[in-house]
Amino acid sequence: MKPTLFVLAAGMGSRYGGLKQLDGVGPSGETIMDYSIYDAVNAGFGKLVFVIRKSFEADFREKIVSKYDKKIPVELVFQELDHLPEGFTPHPDRVKPWGTNHAVMMGKEVIKEPFAVINADDFYGRESFGVLADYLSGLAGSENKYCMVGYHVGNTLSESGTVARGVCETDAVGHLTGVVERTQVMRVEGKVSYKDENDQWVPIADHTPVSMNMWGFTPDYFRYSDDYFIQFLKENADNIKSEFFIPLLVNHLTVTGKVTVKVLDTPSKWFGVTYAEDRPGVVARLKELTESAVYPSPLW
């Protein structure tokens, strides 16, 4: 059974000021997401699922789905503020979505096989899709064995400023034991460093694994999500900014011993447009990858 690629795209319309402005950064106007889909299809993923907001379904089908559905089956699911368990309603002042894990929960009805989760607007690299597809292909029928792609932190930085990264801790066999969110990471005097609670820069090795929101799960993850979301809402329903993030649930499941999460190594360089100043660098790197024949242009 081929794994499914689940793309978190519910924030796209708001971030880009409407889908018409989806940024073409490749040599033939490709978006970053085009490269992810291309890599996923070539790595052996069998289906695409996008989670979006219902309000831009028509636009999304016209601009995005029409590009991919000749290459791979595509499904759409929808994340809305009022999509909550029985007995809960959103705070009237809440406008912020419920976070990445709430977005993942929307896939429950259409995903029955091992699946990967990625952000729509991050460049992950073809090796990462390869290792993820290989691992997920071996999980059919199993439960409680998840994975994530651990990027070398030195391959994920921005030259334009600090970035936030989930720094991963692993055991002797490469299973995740914790993710510590570091909100300020950059090179300081040539060394990757993060700012600690005392405002001090702490150097870490370039190859330290970090999470870039590239996960692999089996469908039992939906059951855990449903259960833990109720607990989350009981504690956070009145906090209009609280979000139900994937690392929050993954940390809970690993700490309580319910699941294992294998950290998969990748040599890929992650990149994205964290700052407006990052865009020219992204354009240059994609041009380079095209000129060295890693990607054709146009992609499709």
- Which domains can be identified in the chain, with CATH numbers? 4-150+211-291 (3.90.550.10)
Residues 6+ apart with CB under 8 A from 181: 164, 165, 166, 167, 247
Answer yes or no: are the C-beta atoms of 128 and 268 closer than 8 Å: yes
pLDDT over 70 at 14, yes or no: no
Q: How far apart (Å, rounded) are the C-alpha atoms in residues 91 and 197?
A: 32
Maximum distance among all Cα pairs of the chain, rounded to whole angstroms: 56
pLDDT over 80 at 150, yes or no: yes
Helix (H, G, I), strand (E, B) or coil at 212: strand
Q: How far apart (Å, rounded) are the C-alpha atoms in residues 25 and 146?
A: 32
pLDDT at 173: 96
Answer yes or no: are the C-beta atoms of 25 and 281 closer than 8 Å: no
User: Which two structure tokens, joined as six digits, stand for 194?
Assistant: 């993060």
pLDDT over 80 at 12, yes or no: no
Of the listed ranges 50-59, 190-199, 269-278, the one predicted with least confidence: 269-278
Residues 6+ apart with CB under 8 A from 117: 6, 8, 100, 104, 213, 214, 215, 216, 217, 246
pLDDT at 85: 81
- Please give the model's pTM, rounded to 2 decimal places: 0.93
Average pLDDT for residues 178-187, to the nearest whole number? 90
Q: How far apart (Å, rounded) are the C-alpha atoms in residues 176 and 165?
A: 15
Nearest to 132 by CA among 292, 268, 11: 268
pLDDT at 216: 98
Of the listed ranges 179-188, 236-245, 256-265, the one predicted with least confidence: 236-245
Helix (H, G, I), strand (E, B) or coil at 117: strand
Average pLDDT for residues 276-287, to the nearest whole number? 92
pLDDT at 208: 96
pLDDT over 60 at 15, yes or no: no
Q: How far apart (Å, rounded) are the C-alpha atoms in residues 41 and 18?
A: 26
pLDDT at 17: 58
Which run of H or of E encompasses 94?
Answer: none
Name the pLDDT band for 177 (thresholds 50, 70, 90).
very high
